[in-house]
Each structure stands twice: as structure tokens, then as C-alpha cells.
Structure 1
Amino acid sequence: MTKYAFVTGANKGIGYELVRQLLEKEYHVFLGARDEELGQQAVESLGFSNVSLVLVDISDIHSIQYAKHRILEVTDHLDLLINNAGIAPDFNIKPSELKVETLRSAFDVNFFGTFHMIQEFLPLVQKAPRGKIVNLTTDMASQTKFDNGEVHQLNFLAYNSSKTAINSLTLAFGKEFGESGPEIFGVTPGFTSTDLNGNAPGGQSAAEGAEIILTHALSETNYNGKILDRNGVMPW
């Protein structure tokens, strides 16, 4: 039986690598992208027949609903929904100098966008034998580890706090789903050099980051409501 996955923000970076690695595991993958041209280029460069482009802007509820209709034309279920799309609009901006519009934009995409994705696609994930929802987060969203200096001390209020809110959202949905499913959890791949951070030097590759995420996403262990890093469950 074919397994289906939907990855948002997948025309480049970690999202692209998530799609590639899932395709190699014989999933049919819906590659989510905001831009049709860039999305189509990504699909063509992958060179697989089991990948479909789905246009989606997660900051727009109508775009999310349209994406759901497109996927329903192919399948009535999703085995895996990976909420990868996100923005980091305040790199190198001090919290005291952050404009409220920038803060709102981070929450519109990272938090509210993820929230809408979960609500809209929940019925499809519930129809899978063991459906999973994976939310991408960051180790800097861990209040405990950030305060203790255990992770990169990049004090980006908009990005970090919107991801902390995603952790809270993950916990809330996890409490609702309980033992009956589906399973929802957050994963941080750790410091990865991508366009999101201006390809900052010293990070792991997008392929390595994607591998960490999929190790947990495809695990037999139930991580419902948890936040994970490369070593397993982490505090938040």
C-alpha cells in the first residue's frame, strides 16, 4: 500500500532533502512550495515519478484549503505531514529594535500557519493506519536550554518565540490526541546551514538535518506530544 507524505516549504533546504529521502523510501510525496516555478524546478531536479507539486502558502488559509483539495484528488489519507515551512525575519535584530510588524509576520507564518495546516489536514492524517504530524522547531525554542546556554545564543525574539509557541501547540494537540492518535511531535535538526540563516558557516548540511528529522518521523517509538533533537526527547 502506497504511503503518502506532504512536506511544506520543500523546494529548497531541509524541506527539499526531506522530500528526496522520503522518495527514496518509496513514499508518494507532495512537495509543498509557494512559488510554482521554483516548485516545478525542484520536482524536476529530483527525477522521481512519485512526487507531486502542491502550491501552498501557509500564511493564507485559502491556499492551505486549496492544497488540501489538490491532495484529495490523489489520496484520502496522509501517513506523514511535515510542517517544515517557516520564516526567520529577525536575524541580527535586537529584541529592543524589533518592529511589531516583523514579530507578527513570524507568528503569522510559523505559528498560525502551522496551526491552520494541522486543523485542515487532520482528517487526512486520521485516516492513515498510523498517521503522524511533525512540526519543525529549533533548539533555541527550548526555554530551558536557551536560558542555560546549552544552545546557540542567537537572541532572535520573533523566530525563537514563534517556534516556542509551536512547541506549546504541539503539546496541546498531543494532549488532545492522546493514545488514540494521530501522533504529533516536534523535531529540531540542530544548527543546519540553509537559506533560512543565510547559509551560516559551521552548520550541518540540509541532508544531515533531514536525516535527523526522518529518523524520528519514521521511528516505531511513539513520541506524541514530545519535542525531539538528535539525541531524543529534549526539554522545552
Structure 2
Amino acid sequence: MTPIVFVTGGNRGIGLEIVRGYAKAGCKVLMGCRDEDAGEEVKQDIVGADIQVIEMDLSSEQAVVDNITRASAVFGRIDVLVNNAGVMDDANWKDLDLAKLKRSMQVHLNGPLALCQQVLPGMIDRGYGRIVNVSSGYGSFAEGMEGPLAYAVSKAALNAMTLKLANDVADHSNVKINAMCPGWVHTRMGGRDAPRSPEKGAETAIWLGQLEDDGPSGKFFRDKKEINW
């Protein structure tokens, strides 16, 4: 049975390379993006792949629920969810607009949680599922929470959600929920000075979505190696 993978923020940067990677592995990929036309345009470059564009704006939880419900109704199931969509607000604590903090929390925590709430029951019922949360070392307590406040705090919250959900579904051993850090990647968000390619940044997310039955859950990874929260 061909795995069905849903990737948020899939039309550019790391997300697009995650889409490419799963498509290359023979999966059917649902490319979630805010602008359907933008998704349709970039998918033309991935020749021979089974990719469907799903308009998905994470700024509204109701929109998230409505769109993922429609996608599930059309495609029947989602085997792998990759919560990749992200925003970067680099204001320091003195200058941070609280509305920007709310946006970061919405995109990095509330939206992914709403998606997990929609897809996890089906994964549990079928006895198979993989959820990959694209996080950051900027949100790691072990690495000093060095990122801008809105980004670091919201990614730390995503990490906390990852571990909590993994613990809550631990009895369902073939449902794996993990977080990963792609590193500093040369994208519109990462900037021109970033040393890593989007392809390299995507590798761990692609690997985590295809873990074997005895693979880990409730862990944090970089370059396919476990790191500390």
C-alpha cells in the first residue's frame, strides 16, 4: 500500500525538499501550502511524482481542521504527517509585538496540534503512523534557547508537545512521533549565509517518516542522531 504523506509548508525551502524526498521514495504526497497556485507551480518541476496540492493556512485553527478533514475524505487516510510550516520573527524581548508571538505560537504549536488531533485517531486505529515535527535547536533547553524569543519559545512548545503526545500514545507502538532540527539552512527564512542546503535539511524529516516498526518515538534528532531537548 502506497504511503500517503502530508507536508505543511511544502511549496518552498526545506518543505519542498521534504516533498521531493517522499515522492522519490514512492509515496503519495499532499503538499500543504497557503497559496494553492504557488503549490501547483512548483510541483510541475517534480516530474513523475504523485503530488496533490492542499491549501492550508495554519493561522486559523478552524481552517486547519476544515482542510485536513476534506483531504482525509478525498484521500482516505494520512500515514505520515510532517509539520514543517514555520515563521520567523527575530525581534528581541524588548521590541517583540505580542501579536507576532501569538502568530508564532499559532503556526508552530496550535496548528500542528490541530493537525495531530485530526490524524492521530486514524493512525491509532490502523496501527501505523508517523508524525514528524520540524523544530529547531533554537528551541532546545540543552542548547541554551539561543534563538529570537518568539521563535525559540514557540519551537520549545512544539518540542514539549512532541514528547507529550508521544508519551500519550506510547501504548500504540507503531505510531511514532518525533521532532527534528534541520540545522541552519539556506532558505528564505535561514538567509543567504546559512551553510546547509535545503536537501540536507530535509534528510532527517524524510528518514523519520519512514522509520521501521522498532524505531524511536518521543525523541529529538539532528542529522538522524538523537539530541537533547
User: TM over 0.5: same fold?
Assistant: yes
SS across alignment from 2:151: helix
Indicate how the Cα distance of structure 1 residues 25 and 233 shifts in structure 2: closer, same or farther if over 3 A, else same: same
Deviations 1:17-59 (A, max 9, x none): 1111111111000000111211111222222341101111122
Q: In angstroms, what is the RMSD of aligned CA positions?
A: 1.7
Alpha-carbon separation, structure 1, partners of 2:226 and 2:129:
20
1:156 aligned residue (148, 151, 156):
148
Alpha-carbon separation, structure 1, partners of 2:77 and 2:167:
22
Alpha-carbon separation, structure 2, partners of 1:126 and 1:133:
12
Normalized per residue, the structure richer in helix is 1
Contact 2:65 2:114 in 1 (8 A): no
Name the residue aligned to 2:170: 178
Deviations 1:130-172 (A, max 9, x none): 211110100111111126xxxxx4x300001100000100111
> Where do 1:199-210 residues align within 5 Å?
199-210=191-202
Contact 2:203 2:223 in 1 (8 A): no
Moved more, 226-235 or 26-35: 226-235
Alpha-carbon separation, structure 2, partners of 1:18 and 1:115:
20
Contact 1:34 1:56 in 2 (8 A): yes
Indicate how the Cα distance of structure 1 residues 172 and 25 shifts in structure 2: closer, same or farther if over 3 A, else same: same
Alpha-carbon separation, structure 1, partners of 2:142 and 2:73:
44
Q: Give how far 1:126 is off.
A: 2.8
Name the residue aligned to 1:59: 59
> Aligned residues: percent identity?
28
- Count of paired positions: 227
Unaligned runs of 5+ in 1: 148-152
- Report the TM-score, using the length of structure 2 for normalisation: 0.92
Q: Give how far 1:231 is off.
A: 5.0
Q: Determine whether 1:230 maps to 2:223.
A: yes
> Where do 1:72-221 residues align within 5 Å?
72-88=72-88, 90-91=89-90, 93-146=91-144, 153=146, 155-181=147-173, 182-197=175-190, 199-220=191-212, 221=214
Q: Give how far 1:67 is off.
A: 2.1
Which one-letter code corresponds to 2:168 in the other structure? Answer: E
Deviations 1:161-186 (A, max 9, x none): 10000010011101100131421110
Alpha-carbon separation, structure 2, partners of 1:48 and 1:66:
29
Moved more, 50-59 or 138-147: 138-147
SS across alignment from 2:58: coil
Q: Give how far 1:128 is off.
A: 4.4
Indicate how the Cα distance of structure 1 residues 231 and 210 shifts in structure 2: closer, same or farther if over 3 A, else same: closer
Q: Give how far 1:69 is off.
A: 3.1
- Report the TM-score, using the length of structure 1 for normalisation: 0.89
Alpha-carbon separation, structure 2, partners of 1:67 and 1:137:
23
Structure 1's consecutive aligned runs of 4 or more residues displaced over 6 angstroms after TM superposition are none
Which one-letter code corresponds to 2:85 in the other structure? Answer: A
Deviations 1:47-96 (A, max 9, x none): 234110111112212322232233224432222100001111x22x2222
